[in-house]
Amino acid sequence: MSTPTPAESSSTIIPKPDRGGSPPPEGLLNVACPPAVQSGGWWQPFAAFDGVAVLHVDLAPDALNEQRAWAWLDPAERQRADQFRHGGAKRQYVLCRSALRSLLCDALSCRNEQLAFRASKHGKPSAFVGGSKSAFGFNVSHGGRHGLIALAPDGTVGVDVEERSAPRNLDVLVDTVLSPGERAEVMAAAGDEKLRLFLNLWTMKEALSKARGVGMSMDVSGFEIPHGMLRGTRGGVFCFPDVPDLTWALHNVGTDDFAAAVACTTQAVCDAS
C-alpha cells in the first residue's frame, strides 16, 4: 500500500530524495525536521512543520513486518499485545510501537533495551533512557490501516487519525463532541460532507486534547476549533479557554483516505476568531 499524501498547503513541496526503499510522499513539507525522520520497513515520512515531523505507519496485514516488529518490543509490551482480542488491534499496536522505538532510539542515540515508556495519569507516555526521563515529545495514533507518529524534539505534540468511515454512533458523537456552533455546521452539511466535516473536527479536538496530555478525559465540546479551519483552512493557532497564555499550532493533515490532525506548542499569537 502506498503512503497517502497530505493535501497541498502554503508550504513548499520538495522533491523526493533518493533514500533507497520506499520514498517519502510528495507532500513532505520543506521545513526543518527532527533528526529521526527516516523510512523503515513499514513507516516513512509524511509531513513536517513547526519543528515537528509526522510519519505514516502502514498497518496493512503483513506477516514479515509483524514478525520484525515483534522483536522490538520489551516483555511488558509483548504481554500487552497478547491481551488484544482483535487481531487488527494487536497489529496496530505492535507495528506502531516498534516504529516508535526505532525512531526514538535514533533520535535519542540509545539502544532499544535502554528505552522505556511511562504513562501519565491520563495515559500520555513519556520516554525514559536508562531510567532518566527525556524531554523529547512524541505522540502516536492509529485507525484502521493507518498509523501516524508525531515527533517534536523541542515541544509537546498530539496527533490523531481516523479512517473516513462512519462510526456507528455518529449522531451521538456529534451531540457530545462538538460545540453548539460546530454541531450546527455539521448538521447543515449534506451527504458525505457531513461525515467529512465531523471527522475533521473530531481529529483536531483529539489532537489538541492529546497534546495537552488529558486525552478524552476533558469535555471537548467546551471549546471550538478555529473558525478558519472549520471553513477548510489547513492550519491555525488555538488557545484553550482555561489556559489562554499557552498557544498551539493546529494542522489538518487529512487525506482522502483518513482524517488526521497534529497539534504542537507554538509562540504564535492565538487566533482571535
Q: CB–CB of 204/252 below 8 Å?
A: yes
**Residue 226's closest CA among 201, 199, 196?**
201
- How many whole angstroms separate alpha carbon 234 and alpha carbon 137? 22
Residues 174-223 have pLDDT tens digits of 999 999 999 999 999 998 999 999 999 999 999 999 999 887 678 899 99
C-alpha cell at 189: 452539511
Q: What number of residues does the chain have?
A: 273
Residues 138-183 have pLDDT tens digits of 999 999 999 999 999 988 999 999 999 988 888 899 999 999 999 9
Domain 161-266 has CATH 3.90.470: yes
Residues 228-265 have pLDDT tens digits of 999 999 999 999 998 888 999 999 999 999 999 999 99
- How many whole angstroms separate alpha carbon 59 and alpha carbon 146? 6
Name residues whose C-beta falls within 8 Å of residue 94's C-beta, 6 or more positions apart in sequence: 66, 69, 70, 73, 81
Q: Among 1.10.3720.10, 3.90.470.20, 3.10.270.10, 3.40.190.10, name the CATH number for the domain at 43-154.
A: 3.90.470.20
| pLDDT-derived band at 14, boundaries 50, 70, 90 | very low
| pLDDT-derived band at 37, boundaries 50, 70, 90 | low
Q: Considering only CA atoms, give the Rg of the chain.
A: 18
Q: CB–CB of 149/55 below 8 Å?
A: yes
C-alpha cell at 211: 497534546
Q: Report pLDDT for 107.
A: 94
Q: CB–CB of 116/74 below 8 Å?
A: yes
Q: Report pLDDT for 11.
A: 28
- How many whole angstroms separate alpha carbon 168 and alpha carbon 64? 33
Domain ranges of the chain: 43-154, 161-266
Q: Report pLDDT for 21.
A: 31
| pLDDT-derived band at 122, boundaries 50, 70, 90 | confident
